[in-house]
Amino acid sequence: MGVAAIKYGEQDIANLFCMPQTLVTLIESCLSGAGVPELAEIVLQDAALSARVINAASKAGSTRIDAAEPVTSAIQQLGLPVVTGIALQAAKQVVAHDFTDTSLHFLNSLWFSSRVAGQFARCLSPTVSYLHVEEAQLSGLLLNLGLYTLFSKHGDDYAELAAESKSSPALSQRELQSYQQDHLHVAEDVIEPWKLDSFLIDAVRFLHQDVVQIENSSQLLKIARLSHQICQHPLELTDDVRQLAERLFQFSRSEIDYLFSWAKGLYKGAIPALEDPEKLREQLKEARGRLIDLIFALADQEGARARLLGNNRPELLATEARHLYLENSPAGEAIFMLVDHKNNQLAGIVAEGQARLISELKVPLDASLSLVVQALVSGETNNSFSAKQPLSVTDQLLLRIGGKRGFFCQPFLLDGRLLGAVVLSVDREEEMSTLHLLRLRMFGQVVSESIAQLSNDVPDNFFEGSAQLRRVSHELSNPLTIIGNYAEVIGHLLPDDEHREFTDAIKREVRRVDDVLNYYLNQQELPPFPDRDISLNQLVYEAVDALQEGELQPRRIDVRFNLKNDLAKVSTNGVLVKQILVNLLKNAAEAVTEGGEIQLATRDSYCSDGGRFVEVVVQDNGGGIDSQVKDQLFRPVVSTKGPGHAGVGLSIVKGMVDDLGGRISYHSSPAAGTGFHLQIPCGDDDFSAASLI
């Protein structure tokens, strides 16, 4: 009687070894309060880390993981503290394990091979018009997941059996003889519980099927197959790869040459020194030392969080936070300023033992000359020593109160929300390097959380904001009316209705602006009921029509549609949805070069608390979003469009999406361009105004 094959599952995922250097980067980013896009980009460099994060999210609750962006969706569901905990457990495992030369060689080769497949799949996906770039990257990354799992269970014995760190039919045969299970079925066991609405699991289990069957299957299976072939010789393009690329995707020689060169540039710098065991061991030692430091830093962060807990008044919070900064930095004073949303200013908060003059510091948020406002608005630290302009009066007052020759500003932000800043007084410019250390950034994250929690107890000042909006609406009302009237007159002057569609479009867009203004005027006082049976596909076409003459046709931008014919209709506010789509399309049009391409797709989805959504994807083939602004993308100050643009469009979009109860996310890279995913809840037949508040 044969021995039954072992069933692999979630406990085996907890034993997978993550790449130490990737863990260092992830934990540092978690400590600094990085946003979801940055965290997802880091996690997608490591197969074991991706598996740990997705597995945790799949067990966390009823919310389904978005198969189009599985890692991003998982991180959004788990939140920063849980992701930090996953990284911490993986780090402890790496620090505690006694790696042999054999295991180090095997793991480094495996980490690199998986990264190669993931990066190539990421580049290949938009090239073959597969919209779900992250899903494609993950499929390449996880092709070797079974090898990770078998190594974690059998160690050096498996490393010697495998000989290579790549999936192959020959390896499957050796595994079956030794373990009654091969790596493809092991990977299937591990991935299946995630219940992804994706062919990812099939891309792995059919990896070695005859290419005749693969070439007529899903795009994802073909992407995985070609990505795996690249892994065999990641630094040179072989005839086998060229032939497979032509067979699966009809690539010409120049096309596959270009694609390979592009992908190789992304992973070439990660080549491990496999022929130098001493160097591998030295790199591991260095990474372990850094991980140990970070483990202690995480403990310090929890200690700081505990110290700030329960300080339910600004002055109490400032007092405890001041102690934290003075104890852990060379600063002689720490002055806290919090955002006063009512008066649109930064206001000084007096901590225990500080001069009362701090309470008299009031700095308008539009006072661009002040270094402390510049730090807050930019989301970046700055200091008086490197100021490129004379110090403002406010900055000179801060210098006097601090009693030192200079100061350092650290902003407090959380999820793009402006909260305040701390001004640390120092005597020497050389002390700036200490203030840039992770420990200080870590405290900034904890203080930001505490300020956000504190501000949650204070109601938003609706009336001031509403009054300002009414003034803006009043100022816009007359010119909008005049524009509409002129369009009407021009329409009557045109002979035989010639070009009447243009004047109709002008009037339609004027009405849309008026509708949007009226919506924001009335939403707090009397939330409007949603319109029933709104067709998202129809709104997509209308949004494109609104930009066709002014934005798209003059620059020869090609718009391609992939709209689901039987897409569910929704109960929502059609005016806002169309405005969101127009803003996203306008953003995409400005991101691509002349003759560029925008792809629009719609689909049904189930990705938030089990609820039904309809989704539209706006994908451009531009150069991607600068990594420095990704975490602040939905803030009003952020722009990727160059001088002359205020960058407020995406901030407006985020506010409108929140008003609709929807979600918006994005993926972006220089290779793939940028794709925005807008999800609108389908709504119920029995809806009420209360459900919209």
Nearest alpha-carbon partner for 122 in 108, 140, 148: 140
**pLDDT confidence tier of residue 691, bands split at 50, 70 and 90:** very low
Backbone angles phi, psi at 614, to 5 degrees: -115, 145
DSSP 356: G
Average pLDDT, the chain: 82
Proportion of the chain above pLDDT 70, given as a percent: 82
Q: Does the pLDDT at position 637 exceed 60?
A: no
pLDDT of residue 683: 61
Amino acid code (one letter) for 645: H
Q: Does the pLDDT at position 167 exceed 70?
A: yes
Q: Does the pLDDT at position 482 exceed 70?
A: no
pLDDT of residue 638: 39
Backbone angles phi, psi at 613, to 5 degrees: -130, 160
> Residue 5: which region, alpha, beta or left (left: phi > 0; alpha: psi -120 to 50)?
beta
Q: Does the pLDDT at position 414 exceed 90?
A: no
CATH code matching the domain that covers 529-692, chosen among 3.40.50.10310, 3.40.50.300, 3.30.565.10, 1.10.580.10: 3.30.565.10
The SS3 of residue 629 is coil
CATH superfamily for domain 10-270: Hypothetical protein af1432 (1.10.3210.10)
pLDDT of residue 368: 74
Q: Does the pLDDT at position 98 exceed 60?
A: yes
313-455 is a CATH 3.30.450.40 domain = yes
**Span of 418-427, 446-455, 606-615, 623-632 with lowest mean pLDDT:** 606-615
**Span of 340-344, 509-513, 680-684 with lowest mean pLDDT:** 509-513
Pairing state of beta strands 673-681 and 663-669? antiparallel
Give residue for tokens 């373990």: 179
Give residue for tokens 């080769």: 109
pLDDT of residue 433: 79
**Span of 241-250, 373-382, 390-399, 518-527 with lowest mean pLDDT:** 518-527
Nearest alpha-carbon partner for 673 in 595, 619, 602: 619
CB 119 within 8 A of CB 266: yes
Q: Does the pLDDT at position 150 exceed 90?
A: yes
pLDDT of residue 25: 95
> 477 is written with which tokens?
């009302």
Nearest alpha-carbon partner for 125 in 643, 646, 619: 619
- Cβ burial, residue 446 (10 Å; 0-12/13-18/19+): buried
**pLDDT confidence tier of residue 466, bands split at 50, 70 and 90:** very low
Q: Residue ranges per domain, the chain? A: 10-270, 313-455, 460-526, 529-692
| Euclidean distance between CA atoms 200 and 221, whole angstroms | 8
Q: Does the pLDDT at position 3 exceed 60?
A: no
Nearest alpha-carbon partner for 17 in 89, 120, 118: 89
CB 383 within 8 A of CB 432: yes
